[in-house]
Amino acid sequence: MSDLLKRAYDPEKFRKQGHDMVNRLADYLAESLNRTDIPVYPYKEPDERYKDWDRDFNSPGEEGLSDFFDDTIRDSIHLHHPRYVGHQVTPPIPIAALSDMLSAMLNNGMAVYEMGAVSTAQEKVVMNELAKEIGMDASAGGMIVSGGSIGNLTALLSARQALQNSDIWIDGNNSERQLAIMVSENAHYCVERASKIMGLGDQGIIKVPVDDDLKMRVPALEKSLKNARDRNITIIAIVANAANTATGTFDPLDKIADFCRDEEIWFHIDGAHGGAAAISRKYNNLTKGIERADSVVIDFHKMMMMPALCTAVLFRKENDSYQTFAQKAPYLWGDNDDKQWYNVGKRTIECTKRMMSTKIYAMLRTYGFDLVREYVDTTFDLAAEFAELIYADKDFRIVSEPACNIVCFNYIDDFEDLHKSNAFVTSIREEVIKSGRFYISATLVGEEMCLRTTLMNPFTDKKDLLELLDLVREFARDEISKLEEVNLHT
């Protein structure tokens, strides 16, 4: 064996590097939470950042490892900084990072029980407990997959199989009718992508209108369904938002569940972001009816403090989760007809997958769902407080009434042209990000571009939010001054 392999696997070197890494990350966590002067996002143009890392790649090997770790931390976006209020990405809880290190070292890839025995058992515990927390009974269950896109696709494949009289996996889609999915017009793009992957084509997505509060219009479901049936289209599922990505709006789940029950249509909830509200005692009214869905997707890496990617796919009747991937693979499992909950590759798109359950299990075993409840309540409460600050400030307005921890707002301008107004908002956001003092996002609500904050960090406070408004105000006024100067010269 070469000295290089021996050095790479040396236990004592790993011990030292591990201690150094934990110390380094603990320092980073302290600096972030204490709001030191590190930029929330160290802005660089893509080409500039690529050149920096291209140069770094040619640096010395083991001797430069500490510098590499430091540079990676410094150059990354800092989710643990209370002034990160951008996209729906949580600051991971430290116990999850430690568990991920454990999982990476053990590398017990899941697909068949004997290769991932511990994480398979942990996954079943986690999914059973989560099902109970959101109000499902003992017949519920599911699995953990790599992200909401795969989760939604997995659930919708099961919905299609449940509708058919034949086995699509074996016989193919031999239906004489066009199949389609009904979704809110504000649904995440991954639902439409799932329908295209399923081969449903352009007619495979039927978008249901939303009301003034951006919630799916339940009365419009009946009209949309009748129109579909008149065109010989069979609806395999109705997908509701809990909540939608842009504004955090929850569809009326209970009423949609009633409709699906009456029409005998599979009811799926994309609860990637807001499904965790069902665990809260304070905000679970937002998800009333979630326990009645045939399938639900909830991201652990959004509102449950886990690093990406890990998503729960829950089925009200766990038996439904076995219908989709009935595939022969004798080198993995012998009996294809036996459900075998412990061979998770039988019911997921993924074959090998990481020990995703270990970090979730570790958090819940240590802190229980009370920690999740506190996290949800804290971030949702903060959004309500932020909305009140905006209502009280004459320079700003709320664009969409917040339901969870997503707040869409704008600086009040007097542009009559929507295109100019949207460009104005975009430029303000760019200035905020480049300043490094905050990270915020933007979204379209209807045709209006607005500033968007997702309050994912429970350590963000009122002072941070007031300073964000002051910073936006400062850049907005600067931008208006520039435009006025241009107008004077023209």
For the chain, the distance separating the N- and C-terminal CA atoms, rounded to the nearest angstrom, is 75
**Does residue 166 have a pLDDT over 60?**
no
Higher per-residue pLDDT: 479 or 279: 279
Q: Report yes or no on 88 lying in a domain.
A: no
Look at residue 314 and give its three-state secondary structure. Answer: strand
Percent of the chain past pLDDT 70, that is, above it, reads 93
Range of the domain at 484: 371-489
**pLDDT at site 328:** 47
In terms of domains, do 360 and 229 share one? yes
**pLDDT at site 173:** 67
Confidence band, pLDDT 50/70/90 cuts, at residue 111: confident
Mean pLDDT of the region 44-65: 88
In terms of domains, do 356 and 411 share one? no
**pLDDT at site 333:** 41
**pLDDT at site 336:** 54
**pLDDT at site 352:** 84
Report d(CA 314, CA 321) in Å as an integer: 8
Residue 319's domain is classified under what CATH number? 3.40.640.10
pLDDT in tens, 454-487: 999 999 999 999 999 999 999 999 888 887 776 6
Average predicted confidence (pLDDT) for the chain: 90
Q: Report yes or no on 53 lying in a domain.
A: no
Last residue of a domain, one of 344, 367, 390: 367
Longest dimension (CA), the chain: 80
Mean pLDDT of the region 203-211: 92
Higher per-residue pLDDT: 414 or 248: 248
pLDDT in tens, 94-105: 999 999 999 999
Report d(CA 323, CA 157) in Å as an integer: 9
pLDDT in tens, 297-317: 999 999 999 999 899 999 999
**pLDDT at site 329:** 44
Look at residue 167 and give its three-state secondary structure. Answer: coil
Report d(CA 186, CA 240) in Å as an integer: 10
User: What is the number of domains present in the chain?
Assistant: 2
**Does residue 4 have a pLDDT over 70?**
yes
In terms of domains, do 338 and 253 share one? yes
**Does residue 167 have a pLDDT over 80?**
no
Last residue of a domain, one of 367, 393, 427: 367
Residue 381's domain is classified under what CATH number? 3.90.1150.170
**pLDDT at site 28:** 96
For 331, phi then psi, to 5°, come to -75, -15
Alpha helix segments (H runs only) across 9-116: 11-33, 46-56, 65-75, 94-106
Instruction: Supply the pTM of this predicted model.
Output: 0.93
Q: Quote the DSSP letter at residue 216.
A: B
In terms of domains, do 194 and 107 share one? yes
Q: Of 272, 271, 269, 319, whose CA–CA distance to 295 is shortest?
A: 269
Q: Report yes or no on 67 lying in a domain.
A: no
Report d(CA 30, CA 391) in Å as an integer: 33
In terms of domains, do 402 and 322 share one? no
Percent of the chain past pLDDT 90, that is, above it, reads 71
pLDDT in tens, 358-412: 999 999 999 999 999 999 999 999 999 999 999 999 999 999 999 999 999 999 9
Report d(CA 367, CA 373) in Å as an integer: 11
In terms of domains, do 166 and 239 share one? yes
In terms of domains, do 323 and 375 share one? no
Last residue of a domain, one of 310, 345, 367: 367
In terms of domains, do 411 and 464 share one? yes
Task: Please state, as a whole number, how many other Cβ atoms lie within 10 Å of the Cβ of residue 250.
Answer: 27
Residues β-bridged to residue 110: 353
For 449, phi then psi, to 5°, come to -80, 135
pLDDT in tens, 316-331: 999 888 877 654 444 3
In terms of domains, do 165 and 287 share one? yes
**pLDDT at site 332:** 42
